[in-house]
Homo-oligomer: A and B are copies of this chain.
Amino acid sequence: MARERPAPTPLCSTTFDEFVEQVRAFHGFAAPGVMIGAFMVELAYRHLPKEGLFDAICETARCLPDAVQLLTPCSIGNGWLTIIDTGRYALCLYDKSTGKGVRVSLDPARLEAWPRIKAWFFSLAPKKEQDSALLLEEIRAAGSSLCTVRPVTVARRPAKTKGRRFRVCPSCGESYPESHGTRCLGCQGADPYGPAEDPSCEAHEKA
């Protein structure tokens, strides 16, 4: 299986306006958080060696992961991006072999200079009273000046799903990683669905 990592795509190789369009297509709208996240990713790359295979951590699932997914080779589905929810607006790119990397975070104190960003971030005004075009302009002007960067070593590497062996669950007949036990986690209670629906329904078919 060819598994070359593609080159990262830092924001500097695209314009802010182009990235707005990419975010609209992927995220559904030009979310301020993703735009700020783009500057955070770019700042991280500026402090990393030119060469290396960097995995990513987002400390929140709110917006930031989409900046990482659009601007780095890391995605949720390829396992190079992990979300470790500390609730903080921060990300980390780190060398997967050593754990060494950089963490970039939004510094609340720096929002004081940017009233529209502060009002949006801390929900200080109702959304309908916020002007999204002016907010985006403030984000463009602020750039990475909102952020702090520091070196980190990732001490607890996210568990990888790669290389798991799979077996068939004796309860539901579906496959699952054998490390989960004698039945799949769904049959152990993680299933988010209600009782089985009427099997005569149109959608209940073998496709």
The answer to whether the Cβ of A204 comes within 8 Å of any Cβ in the partner chain is yes
Contacts A88-B175, A122-B166, A175-B121; is A207 near B108 (CB within 8 Å)? no
Which one of B5, B150, B191 contacts A204 once the chains associate, using CB atoms below 8 Å?
B150
B86/A206 in contact, CB under 8 A: no
Contacts A77-B62, A166-B122; is A24 near B6 (CB within 8 Å)? yes
Bound-state Cα–Cα, A145 to B206, Å: 8
Chain A interface size band reads 35 or more
A2/B29 in contact, CB under 8 A: yes
Which residues from chain A sit less than 8 Å from chain B, CB to CB?
1-6, 24-29, 31, 33-34, 43, 47, 57, 59-67, 69, 73, 75-80, 83-90, 92, 99, 102-109, 121-123, 127, 130, 132, 144-145, 147-156, 158, 161, 163-166, 168-169, 172-177, 180, 184-186, 190-194, 196-199, 201-207
Q: Given the complex, which residues of B lie within 8 Å of A27, measured CB to CB?
A: 75, 77-78
B107/A174 in contact, CB under 8 A: yes
Q: Given the complex, which residues of B lie within 8 Å of A5, measured CB to CB?
A: 28
The count of identical subunits is 2
Which one of B28, B76, B105, B206 contacts A76 once the chains associate, using CB atoms below 8 Å?
B76
Contact residues of A: prevailing secondary structure? loop
Interface CB pairs A-B, < 8 A, 19: A27-B77, A28-B78, A31-B78, A63-B77, A66-B78, A76-B76, A87-B184, A88-B169, A89-B175, A92-B193, A108-B173, A121-B166, A122-B175, A123-B165, A123-B166, A144-B207, A151-B198, A151-B203, A153-B194
Q: What residue in chain B is nearest A27 (Cβ atoms)?
A: B78
B77/A67 in contact, CB under 8 A: yes
List the 6 closest pairs (A to B, CB-CB), nearest first: A66-B77, A86-B186, A87-B176, A155-B194, A47-B203, A151-B197
Q: Given the complex, which residues of B lie within 8 Å of A80, measured CB to CB?
A: 28
